[in-house]
Chains A and B, each alone.
Chain A
């Protein structure tokens, strides 16, 4: 837990339950949890970079999206990423269309911690 921010560093969104057990905070699995989040951020970047956005993990709980002008918005959960990405990019996001998957190959983001 971050004692400054009072953040546990583990999300409670349904998508954060990629754990080995049904526990609220995955202390036992924290490295596994972090690795899965790292992969998810890499995938997210592949999808949002063509929209001119960069996505970063924010303390293991939220996600930060930044556009080319340096504007940053925090998405508290994965579910909030899409409306935030739409508001920053001005584009609509629909996985039923082919536009959803990034047409340009983007290198995987380097691993953190």
Chain B
């Protein structure tokens, strides 16, 4: 059992309703045992004052944007929160989750990278979910005109639509379509929906490890814009060759690969493997029961990288590594043991 403190990163553009959502959650019995970290852009730290009364375990990361030079502050805030969570006798003891609210202008990826690069944090904190909040009044315009807003949605596994009850709100279907154009597989929830439960989003249940699903269709590609596409795979992928390729790709282009995920059948495991990564950071793959798994595929949400480039690069590497295939694969004792990129 994973006993690390679940971390939920809540991102979203300025004024999208992140703080309201979090405050509502921590006022519920389920949310009371949450530790909060807030990064407010600028010096005011207004949100901190709002939240500090709701929970004693608030760490404010002051004075700037998370994506710049403040990673050390993020790490320190998380260190402090984990210590508080472990200390049952003092304020903050018994925390069951940490919620980090990023600045409205922040790219949440460096926060995730901070977590992955700190061995102590890695041993004590697990990233459970990245939630993007998109409001129905200004959200559509932000997604169209603000690259930060698009990146926040691209990196999130869950998108919560807010302010759908306001007069100037765009219809939820229109907003959801705009979100899907950036991240076709995101879990989209409408905060106005009567079935919406904050605990489903913020309680720390792993939504990153849900079985991934392929996109129905690739989003349109624009130069230097965020695009998303699916690479269907057939047969068993040679895991050592694949890891070489993906690690080199993330090394060279991790800043432009916002998310990569996939469901793979590999030469190395009897069961399907779910992989999930955000920019330079890959999460440990998880095995899935065969019954939960559909066809194999890889999904990319990337900026300025075309599907054809990725496809060609993977095909080239698999071909180059074919002489090193597993013995049983070389002797052809199994069917379909060499992964192929399907024509489409």
Contact = CB atoms under 8 A, between A and B. Distances in A.
Interface of A: 12, 14-15, 17-22, 32, 35-37, 39-40, 42-44, 46-47, 78-79, 81-83, 92-96, 98, 100-102, 108
Interface in B249-274: 249-253, 266, 268-271, 273
Using C-beta atoms within 8 Å of the partner chain, give the interface range for chain B: 35 or more
B140 to A, nearest CB: 33
Contacts, number: 103
A106 B9 CA distance: 46
Contacts of B283: 14
Contact of A36 (B240, B253, B275, B320): B240
Main secondary structure of the interface of B (DSSP, over half): helix
Nearest to B253: A96
Given A15-B247, A18-B266, A22-B286, A94 B240 contact: no
Contact of B248 (A12, A22, A32, A95): A95
B244 A43 contact: yes
B252 A39 contact: no
Contact of B252 (A40, A81, A95): A95
Contact of A14 (B249, B282, B320, B325): B282
Main secondary structure of the interface of A (DSSP, over half): helix
A48 to B, nearest CB: 10
A79 B247 CA distance: 5
Nearest to A45: B324
A40 B244 contact: yes
Interface string B36-66: 0000000000000000000000000000000
B317 A101 contact: yes
With a 10 A CB-CB cut-off, give which of B250, B252, B277 has the most chain A CB atoms: B252
Contact of B243 (A20, A40, A42, A47): A40
A66 B105 CA distance: 43
Given A40-B243, A101-B316, A82 B248 contact: yes
A95 B314 CA distance: 8
12 contacts: A14-B277, A14-B283, A14-B284, A22-B284, A44-B244, A79-B250, A93-B252, A96-B310, A101-B316, A101-B317, A108-B323, A108-B324
A36 B241 CA distance: 10
Contacts of B313: 95-96, 100
Given A18-B266, A44-B244, A95 B286 contact: no
